[in-house]
Amino acid sequence: MFEQIIALLEQNEMFTPDTIAEYWDGTVLTIQLTFLSVILGFFLAVPLAILRISDKRWLSRTIWLFTYVFRGTPLLIQLYIIYYGVSMIDGIQDSAIWFLLEDAFYPCLFAFVLNTAAYSTEIIRGALITTDKGEIEAAQAYGMSYGLILRRVILPSAFRRALPAYSNEVIFMLHATSIASVVTLVDITGAGYNVYSRFYAPFEAFTFAAGIYLCLCFSIFAVFRKLEKRAFRHLTKMPEHTLVTPSPVVS
Partner 1 sequence: MLDLQGYGPGIFNGALITIQLAVYALVIAVVLGLITAVAKHSGGKLANLFATAYTSLVRGVPDLVLMMLIFFGLQVGLNDLSEWLYELHETYAINEFYIAQGWDSLSAFYDDGLYISIDEFAAGVITIGFIFGAYMAETFRGALLSVDAGQIEAATAYGMPESKIFRRIMFPLMMRFALPGIGNNWLVLVKTTALVSVIGLSDMVKLAKDAATQTFEPFLFFIPVALVYLAITTVSEIALKYLEIRYNRGVEGHSHV
- What CA–CA distances, in Å, run from 201 to 167, 188, 198, 206? 34, 16, 8, 9
- The contact pattern for partner 1, residues 172-211, with x = CB under 8 A and - = no contact, is --xxxxxx-xx-----xx--xx--x---xxxx--xx-xx-
Chosen residue from 5, 88, 96, 243 binding partner 1 by CB under 8 A: 88
Give me the least distance between CB of 222 and partner 1, in Å please.
13
- The contact pattern for partner 1, residues 59-78, with x = CB under 8 A and - = no contact, is ---------xx--xxxxxxx
Encoded amino acid at 22, one letter? E
Long-range contacts of 175-178 (CB under 8 A, 24+ apart): 175/213, 176/75, 176/112, 176/115, 176/116, 177/30, 177/33, 177/34, 177/37, 177/112, 178/30, 178/213
Of 127 and 179, the one with the shorter C-beta distance to partner 1 is 179
Q: Is 165 a residue that touches partner 1 (CB under 8 A)? A: no
Of 17 and 85, the one with the shorter C-beta distance to partner 1 is 85
Q: Is 223 a residue that touches partner 1 (CB under 8 A)? A: no
93-152 binders of partner 1 (CB under 8 A): none
DSSP symbol at 88: T
Q: Is 160 a residue that touches partner 1 (CB under 8 A)? A: no
Give me the least distance between CB of 6 and partner 1, in Å please.
28
Chosen residue from 50, 213, 224, 231 binding partner 1 by CB under 8 A: 213
d(CA 195, CA 104): 21
d(CA 85, CA 182): 16
d(CA 49, CA 47): 5
Of 84 and 146, the one with the shorter C-beta distance to partner 1 is 84
Contact yes or no for 158/120 (Cβ under 8 A):
no
Give me the least distance between CB of 32 and partner 1, in Å please.
16
d(CA 29, CA 39): 15
Give me the least distance between CB of 154 and partner 1, in Å please.
27
Name residues whose C-beta falls within 8 Å of residue 97's C-beta, 6 or more positions apart in sequence: none
> What residue ranges bind partner 1 (CB under 8 A)?
68-69, 72-78, 80-81, 84-85, 88, 174-179, 181-182, 188-189, 192-193, 196, 200-203, 206-207, 209-210, 213-214, 217-218
